[in-house]
Chains A and B, each alone.
Chain A
Amino acid sequence: MDLTAKVRRRCALRALTATLVIAGISVGCGPGGSGDRDGASQPGRDAAEGAGHTLEVWTPESGNRLQLVQQRAAQFSAAHPDVKVNFTIRDFGSYPAQLKLALASDSAPDVVIGNLGWSLDGPLIKAGTLRPLDPWAGRYGWDKRYPEVAQRQMRFSADGKQFGRGPIFGIPYAADVIGWFYNVGKLAALNVSVPATLAELEAAFASARRAGEVPIMLGNKEQWPGLHLFYLVSNDLVSDREINGIVFGDRSVQWTAPGFVASARKLAQWNASGFITAGTNSMPADDAIARFVRGTGVFLPTGSWNATQLAATMGDGVAFFLTPPVRKGDPSRATGSVGYGWHISTASRQPDLAAEFIDFMTQEAFAIQLAASGDISPLDLGERAPAMPSRLAGEIFAAWQGVLANGTLLPYLDFAAPNGAEVLYPTVQSIMAGAETPEQGLARIEQSRREFLDSL
């Protein structure tokens, strides 16, 4: 028989085998479960043989924070010569999809960053891909490390149905708060002082517009930055009870409440008045920051995670404040969180090593490092807080401390459901653009939320 036939036979044989395997498997198990739900093993050292260990770590982190995290991880490797830490980094928008695929694959990572509430943690926990961390929490003292109010965001019921109570699932390392960065020089040039009320803020926008400046620099291509702008308004116009109710699943609270409608309407007004960058819908968030740094835009509404990059490039030319209250003198309310946390995957074969890694990454020493670089820590550093590296960092730190002290920290509304990308973000974007009315959009968001709550 000539060569072609032999080759053909071999190919056919291989294909046949593959077919039989696949056919057999697909016939045998239709949709089925494979989630390994055995509980965490007793805390102790994983059997460490001579061969090296690799910890697979996934994170959506970027910029300065990512650098610090990777440096800290390198220190961990240095202290444990047989351990290598391997990072996989994805951009924030693609992260949830990519992480879910990875967790379900054969090469599931050991340690992963999640995102609070039902935005990512909930679905992952419900699918059984994350381990409850209580056994290690006791051992390493994680439940003593964080203030009680913070722990609410770290807890989830083991069936993934209730956010805010149950075992601890994630250990955070960098807190965040959303506010207004502003170009000091430009504000001074407008003869405007730092706004003390919401009305003054809006007046500042108008002044900027008249002077030919871009009042609000916003890059909304990914659609969630617009939601952050919404938060800055809802901080003032929506009650604590309503915001917490949406986030923690209280059915008596609805998105169609007057406070939310007013906030959405204000967003649309600001856009219609030309306060928001033209081309915001096709501008990536990072682009907006880059332009702000290069000198376009008076105000940049975004989170404290960008502080280090801004301070590094603009020095004292950039400063920060939280959304001013409606009534002068009231404390500022701010949207923020203790930060997304490190989780251990159920599939991980080295949970103890993973726990040790997580503890190392969230210790006070690292928190001090973060604070020294201009980021905020979820830990109460008290006397041990380092010197602030920039005026900007100082302002953010003071704002964060103030919010904690006044108890005016509000959780992110997109913790409330896992389908933010499908409903919440695009709807806020279309309300802002005037493509639909606040009532229409909010009604749709509320309906989607109802469907989600019903499905739990």
Chain B
Amino acid sequence: MSNLEPFNPRGMLHDGWTSQVDDFAIACGWAKKGNIFLVGGSAGGLYAFNGSNGKSLWNKESSHQEGLLALDINPEGDNFATSGQDGAVRFWNSENGNELNFIDLGKGWVEHLCWSPDGKYLAIAFSRTVYVYSSTGKEIWKSEQHPSTVSALAWAKENELATACYGQVCFYDITQNKVNQKLEWRGSLVSMVISSNGDIVACGSQDNSVHFWRRSTGHDAEMTGYPGKPSNIAFDHTGKLLATGGSERVTVWSFEGNGPEGTIPGELGHHTEAVSSLSFANKSKLIASGSRDGSVVVSFLQNNGDGNPVGAAFSGNSISALAWKPDDCAIAAVNSKGKINIWNFKVRTE
């Protein structure tokens, strides 16, 4: 075994650029239509790179005292937001790293951030309270206290925000300040995604299951049997395929026809350790999965949830986040030792 040599990735993943930051990278994403790649580290470091060649543009050492918890890039603008253990939210210019706005919410952790699809609003989870701020840093809305710490945020529509916590998912109309719908279930919901048409909301649960509701009918169902808790879940852009982690496999449920109730999910078993990150391509049925074993696999899925790998690569340590470039021509991975890998994704065109 001693003459094993490193090899270039096969399939459709081609070496792009790599870089290294001196921290546990916890979040990443593309700004300015893919021209800028941003990375956030758990100690509070922020790093910006030229999206096509990896040249460092700027970096900040400690954006948040005690550490960074969330980073989210405004889908429409040039700016992004970060939050941390210091109870603060900061808005940044992604081109030069200038701080644009600052919100101090008090003592506590600001754990989740989520921009609305049109980039107008930023939803902020601060312990049991959720705030919505405008992109210019003005408070638009504030929730009542939730029964427990808010564990996930997602936008169902432009003005409709969903929050998940222990025991419930709640939908708020943030412009009318009212509750549109409350879905209750006695379990600790650890992750949440909403299908593109806003009808299906799916949550990973602490008790190693995935729970979903169809909002139009109020019908709900539970998928059990995961060996671990599905902290990572993702809907594809059509809202028909739900990919879930919770083990070393990616389990894909198809909402085609009468599914997924009573159907057998697709299983992608390409990792040796638990899945630690999942990301669907923006406009195709390609899913990238990252694992604690340091591997990244891109698989092409069929409508029934089955799929085949089309490329795989190794980043060396547990993958903490994945991000497809807006044009789907590259996939980025960051890991627990601060390694950044960008692979160009090439498909044959006729």
A and B associate in one complex: no
Residues of B within 8 A of A (CB): none
